[in-house]
Structure 1
């Protein structure tokens, strides 16, 4: 299992609009690709020197092949949506994580 993590710092001037868009449109669109089983969004509680508010969104996928399929089939289109709506108002970086173990009580 892999986690595709996207860390985003969003400018406070568009924060509320962006947060609604993420919850109501972008994350559902990501899940609608069929390439992720679920998504988790968390607010980063460390203040950034550059300002803004930082979030981590983690999308779980079953394997590398599925993630590569997302990159080739969907990533460009879905990333462009945010750029159109919030130009120059956020910075994002992406990390791929391999789940080694998961423990649930």
Structure 2
């Protein structure tokens, strides 16, 4: 199994709206691609939350091919929507992991 992990630090004044958008729009759009079969949202603990909370969103897929297809065909457009809505109120980085 492959886990596509997106770690996001969101500004305090924006994080509730951002979290709602993730749950109601962004994650469902990613799942509609058919390339991921499940997800998990986690809030990181023991982090400096003065500038806002940090979340890890994990998307689960069966193959690197599915992940690569997502990156090539969907990622940029779906990511852009977040920048359009929240601008510089968040910062994100991605990692890809394999369950061993």
Q: Give the TM-score normalised by the residue count of structure 2.
A: 0.96
Check if 1:81 corresponds to 2:81: yes
| Aligned CA-pair RMSD | 1.1
Could you say what secondary structure the match of 1:69 adopts?
A: helix
Unaligned runs of 5+ in 2: none
Query: 1:47-67: per-residue Cα shift (whole Å, max 9, x none)?
Result: 227621100000001111111
Query: What are the Cα deviations for residues 61-103 of structure 1, in whole angstroms up to 9, with x where unaligned?
Result: 1111111000011000000010000000001010000011xxx
Partner of 2:40: 40
CA distance in 2, matches of 1:56, 1:46: 14
**Structure 2 equivalent of residue 62 of structure 1:** 62
State the Cα deviation string for residues 33-60 of structure 1 (Å, max 9, x = none): 1000100001101222762110000000
Counting matched residue pairs gives 100
* Alignment TM-score, normalising by the size of structure 1: 0.91
Structure 2 equivalent of residue 52 of structure 1: 52
